């Protein structure tokens, strides 16, 4: 089990993979989003991971947020190739980690597990309440989790979960796998994006055998501190915190309209409240992570 208390300070996560890729000149306007590059140009993904590690990140989050076998098959891949591409997302990050291992110690790979709504590519990962039964969510998440875990990441990054109903499906699946994971909700104020009180949402995660940190991601920075405090109070776990830059997601163009920058003056309060994994999400690229790494020392 990954022991976050063994580290002397917070672990710096990477930022938005899509942001880093866009800064490299990659267009991400298709339904597969960053996952398109797994089949067409994996070297670009490696380049983005490399940029984040060199900026000071200790954790690379894989290009699997929006990837699924069904989605890849719908895009024209056969099922066997689709499964290979899901695992390739982890392999790429592991190869970059191993490439840089001689220059920096303790680099980790976190396999991104996005919500069911992410594969719908309509912004519903920020709304939740998909209108599908729990069995559909289990059928979606279970095989993908198994593929990602089998590829050998250091941990799973279960992220941008908008809805505690989805968490109730995911947590038992994670415990069955036994791979360490962080679990982060997207939030608005003191509620999940779907509107459930955070106290109830984090209670779903509390007691999990596999979840090693709980918190918030891809939410506005002003909402992070309250979510971190609630996560720590309810679960007793270290917190994870990686907000976006603010603004809004356009599901038609598959692009963010950003607002502001990462406010580094807020980071100290997150750490003081119990955040042990701190990074950025959409809109925060390698330069933003470099600034964050400087602040966290």
Domains of the chain: 4-296 (3.20.20.330)
Give the model's pLDDT for residue 259.
65
Q: How many CB atoms lie within 10 A of CB 27?
A: 10
Q: For the CA atoms of 199, 201, 207, 213, what is the dihedral angle to 10 degrees?
A: -90
Task: Give the model confidence (pLDDT) of 81-137 as tens digits.
Answer: 999 999 999 999 999 999 998 888 899 999 999 999 988 877 787 888 898 999 999
Q: What is the pTM of this model?
A: 0.93
User: What's the pLDDT at 224?
Assistant: 98
β-pairing, 187-188 vs 191-192, is: antiparallel
- Phi, psi angles (nearest 5°) of residue 7: -90, 145
CA contacts within 13 A on the Cβ side of 222: 6
Under-70 pLDDT residues of the chain: 1-8, 30, 247-259
pLDDT at 133: 95
Burial of 239 (0-12, 13-18, 19+ CB in 10 A): buried
């Amino acid at each position: 089990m990954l022991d976050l208390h063994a580290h002397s300070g917070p672990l710096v996560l990477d930022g938005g993979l899509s942001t880093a890729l866009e800064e490299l000149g990659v267009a991400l306007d298709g339904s597969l989003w960053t996952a398109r590059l797994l089949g067409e140009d994996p070297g670009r993904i490696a380049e983005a991971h490399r940029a984040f590690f060199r900026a000071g990140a200790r954790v690379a989050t894989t290009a699997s947020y929006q990837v699924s076998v069904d989605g890849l098959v719908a895009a024209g891949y056969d099922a066997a190739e689709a499964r290979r591409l899901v695992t390739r997302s982890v392999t790429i990050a592991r190869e970059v980690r191993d490439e840089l291992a001689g220059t920096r110690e303790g680099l980790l790979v976190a396999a991104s597990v996005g919500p069911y709504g992410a594969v719908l590519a309509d912004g519903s990962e920020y709304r939740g309440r998909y209108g599908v039964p729990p069995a559909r969510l289990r059928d979606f998440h279970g095989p993908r989790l198994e593929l990602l875990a089998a590829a050998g990441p250091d941990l799973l990054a279960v992220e941008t979960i908008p809805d505690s109903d989805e968490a109730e499906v995911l947590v038992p699946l994670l415990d069955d796998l036994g791979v360490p994971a962080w679990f982060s909700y997207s939030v608005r104020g003191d509620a999940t994006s779907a509107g459930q009180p955070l106290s109830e949402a984090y209670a779903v995660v509390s007691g999990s055998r596999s979840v090693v940190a709980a918190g918030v991601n891809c939410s506005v920075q002003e909402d992070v501190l309250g979510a971190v405090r609630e996560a720590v109070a309810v679960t007793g776990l270290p917190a994870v915190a990686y907000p976006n830059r603010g603004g809004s997601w356009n599901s038609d163009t598959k692009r963010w309209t950003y607002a502001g920058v990462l406010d580094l003056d807020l980071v100290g309060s997150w750490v003081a409240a119990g955040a042990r994994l701190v990074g950025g999400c959409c809109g925060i690229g390698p330069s933003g992570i470099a600034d964050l790494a400087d602040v966290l020392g």
